[in-house]
């Protein structure tokens, strides 16, 4: 059987750290044939380094050469490039967040459905060992009816000081749309993708606006810092579930910690590290399976294998794009709630 031809648009950090090395270890199934980047020099350097045959002048030229594309540009270009690719019959794996807002994300979903092509979103926490175990355990009913989820995506002093992560126009926001989105996605998946009915949130960027801040991840300009560096939120869902959310790039806390915890009627769990809490035989139990340590590329390989399986019609996507759209709609509501100072009602 002939191999799936793949291209990559945007040859920056995530492309070279995760996707291109992951593609290399799936060479029995795919062929990385082309890259394109607005910075052609960078694309040429990456093509040279990874022995990629073609450096394209435009997305259109690349779409003519491939069956599938991985989109690794800043968030502002996710929608336009994805819709364009899907309309040309090209399958898409788009980096997270799905888009700048839910209107854009909806048009991506529509283009995927209209053209019968795969649209996957790179919410890779679902492919991590801990994420998969949490999903298995919740689906097996070990926590019973879920009641409350809690997201903590907290970094002490790690505003990304490279690329365009603090540029609102290109990214749409800061810690929430960049980092919090992963854990929000994971928690909704574990809860069974419930319909949100009301979102309250507060965003902050006071800390990053102060000159001379210590930052472990490079430097940024405090004067032009316009995105959120810390967000809190409370979300209510249709079936009585609730979610407490907090994310930060730069909080005054003891140390970084990232997890989702779930409390249900019959048990509870914490995802990072994975632990299951239950009451059995008249005693309180904590169970921790021995999970494999994973390299970034291994997670990328699982994500890509699933994408390729979907393109070939052999597998269902782990990240359903309709679920990724819901994540984006909740993020929109969080930003709106903070701006208006009110809770935002949602209809699904």
Which CB sits closer to ligand NAD, 179 or 277? 179
Taking the CA atoms of 136, 95, 311 and 118 in sequence, report the sign of the dihedral they define. positive
Q: Which of 4, 8, 14, 153 binds ligand NAD (CB under 6 A)?
A: 14
Q: Rule CB under 6 A: is residue 327 a binding residue for ligand NAD? A: no
Contacts of 87 (CB under 8 A, 6+ apart): 111, 115
Q: Are 330 and 196 in contact (CB under 8 A)?
A: yes
For ligand NAD, give the closer residue by CB, 104 or 142.
104
In whole angstroms, the minimum distance from the beta carbon of 236 to ligand NAD comes to 28
Residues 29-51 as b or e (16 or more Cβ within 10 Å = b): bbbbbbbbbeeeebbeebbeebe
> Nearest 5°: CA angle at 110, between 109 and 115?
105
Which residue, 154 or 344, has its beta carbon nearer to ligand NAD? Answer: 154
Q: Which stretch binds ligand NAD (CB under 6 A): 4-12, 141-149, 266-274, 282-290?
A: 4-12
Q: Which is nearer to ligand NAD, 74 or 267 (CB)?
A: 74
Stretch that binds ligand NAD, among 70-78, 110-118, 136-144, 337-345 (CB under 6 A): 70-78
Q: Residue 124 interacts with ligand NAD (CB under 6 A)?
A: yes
Instruction: Find the binding residues for ligand NAD in span 198-237 (CB under 6 A).
Output: none
Query: DSSP of 201-215, one letter per residue?
Result: EEEE-TGGGSTT---
- Between CA 132 and CA 238, with CA 331 as vertex, the angle to 5 degrees is 75
Judged by CB under 6 A, the residue of 20, 26, 75, 249 near ligand NAD is 75
Q: Which residue is nearest to ligand NAD (CB)?
A: 12
Q: Applying CB under 6 A, which of residues 62, 69, 73, 241 lies at the interface with ligand NAD?
A: 73
Instruction: Provide, rounded to whole angstroms, the least separation between the CB of residue 160 and ligand NAD.
Output: 8
Does 77 sit near ligand NAD (CB under 6 A)? Answer: yes
> Looking at 4, 7, 8, 11, which residue binds ligand NAD (CB under 6 A)?
11
Q: Site residues for ligand NAD, window 16-55 (CB under 6 A)?
A: 36-39, 42
The three-state secondary structure class of 142 is coil
**CA dihedral of 213, 219, 225, 229, whole degrees rounded to 10:** -70
Q: How far apart are CA 279 and CA 165, in angstroms?
A: 44
Q: Where are the alpha helices (DSSP H) in the chain?
A: 13-14, 20-24, 40-50, 59-63, 78-87, 102-115, 129-139, 168-171, 175, 181-190, 296-311, 321-340
The contact set with ligand NAD (CB under 6 A) reads: 9-15, 36-39, 42, 72-75, 77, 95-96, 122, 124, 163-164, 178
């Amino acid at each position: 059987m002939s191999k799936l031809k793949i291209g990559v648009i945007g040859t920056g950090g995530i492309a070279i750290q995760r996707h291109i090395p992951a593609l290399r270890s799936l060479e029995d199934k795919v062929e990385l044939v082309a890259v394109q980047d607005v910075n052609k020099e960078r694309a040429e350097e990456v093509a040279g380094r990874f022995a990629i045959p073609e450096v394209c002048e435009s997305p259109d030229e690349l779409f003519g050469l491939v069956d599938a594309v991985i989109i690794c540009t800043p968030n502002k270009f996710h929608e336009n490039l994805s819709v364009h690719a899907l309309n040309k019959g090209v399958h898409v794996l788009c980096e997270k967040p799905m888009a700048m807002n839910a209107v854009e994300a909806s048009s991506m979903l529509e283009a995927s459905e209209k053209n019968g092509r795969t649209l996957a979103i790179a919410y890779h926490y679902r492919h991590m060992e801990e994420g998969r175990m949490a999903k298995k355990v919740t689906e097996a009913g070990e926590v019973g009816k879920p009641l409350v989820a809690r997201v903590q995506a907290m970094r002490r002093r790690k505003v990304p000081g490279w690329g365009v992560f603090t540029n609102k126009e290109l990214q749409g926001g800061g810690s929430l749309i960049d980092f919090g989105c992963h854990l929000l996605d994971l928690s909704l998946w574990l809860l069974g993708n419930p319909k949100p009915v009301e979102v309250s949130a507060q965003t902050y960027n006071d800390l990053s606006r102060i000159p001379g801040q210590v930052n472990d991840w490079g430097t940024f300009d405090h004067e032009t810092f316009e995105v959120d560096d810390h967000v809190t939120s409370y979300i209510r869902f249709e079936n009585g579930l609730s979610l407490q959310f907090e994310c930060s790039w730069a909080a005054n806390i003891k140390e970084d910690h990232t997890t989702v915890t779930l409390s249900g009627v019959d048990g509870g769990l914490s995802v990072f590290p994975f632990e299951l809490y239950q009451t059995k035989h008249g005693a309180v139990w904590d169970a921790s399976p021995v999970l494999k340590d994973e390299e970034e590329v291994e997670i990328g390989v699982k994500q890509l294998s699933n994408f390729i399986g979907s393109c070939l019609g052999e597998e269902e996507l782990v990240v359903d794009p309709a679920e990724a759209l819901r994540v984006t709609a909740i993020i929109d509501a969080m930003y709106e709630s903070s701006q208006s100072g009110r809770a935002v009602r949602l209809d699904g």
